[in-house]
Amino acid sequence: MSKRGRGGSAGNKFRMSLGLPVAATVNCADNTGAKNLYIISVKGIKGRLNRLPSACVGDMVMATVKKGKPDLRKKVLPAVIVRQRKPWRRKDGVFMYFEDNAGVIFVGCYCRLLLERPLLWKFLFYFSSYILNPYLCTFYTREPSVTEF
């Protein structure tokens, strides 16, 4: 019997070692004012009975802020994992890992490169007010179109 891949809307992402299960606490690597993120669910994981959903680099998770600004705490926020300590093997044979686990909260301004990613990221742009172009280092205001309402 063949092995099944990761379910859901993972798209064409390669298999990576899943290093951050639900209930993991990761550092917040952005300037929103949050210090720690507590993972409460992982998007796109269907799972098996009694198995904790786990995330790796590039996965979208739902998280809460445990330490940080009071206006960010006690809310469920979407976040993306950007670093993990668990080593994973890349396609060229190199094993990669970082010195800590970290994530980034989606609250306002998003990178334009995420537009080319799978449909998992598309819904974030409906709530964004600015889209950042990393090549030009400028902000673009996104005008809402008539079809979005």
Number of domains making up the chain? 2
Does the pTM surpass 0.75? The reply is: no
> Tell me, what CATH number does 7's domain have?
2.40.150.20
Are 27 and 102 in contact by the 8 Å Cβ rule? The answer is yes
Domain assignment of residue 33, given as a range: 1-107
Which pLDDT belongs to residue 145?
Answer: 45
DSSP-derived secondary structure for 68-136: E-TTTBTS-EEEEEEE-SS-EE-TTS-EE--SS-EEEE-SSEEEGGGGGS-TTTGGGGGS-SEEEETTT
Per DSSP, the three-state class of 146 is: helix
Per-residue pLDDT of 87-126, as tens digits, reads 988 888 899 889 999 999 876 555 555 555 555 555 555 5
Residues 20, 90 within the same domain: yes
Residues 13, 73 within the same domain: yes
pLDDT-based confidence at residue 5 (cuts at 50, 70, 90): low
Residues 2, 16 within the same domain: yes
- Retrieve residue 118's tokens: 């799978």
Per-residue pLDDT of 43-76, as tens digits, reads 988 889 999 999 998 888 999 999 999 999 999 9
pLDDT-based confidence at residue 141 (cuts at 50, 70, 90): very low
pLDDT-based confidence at residue 8 (cuts at 50, 70, 90): low
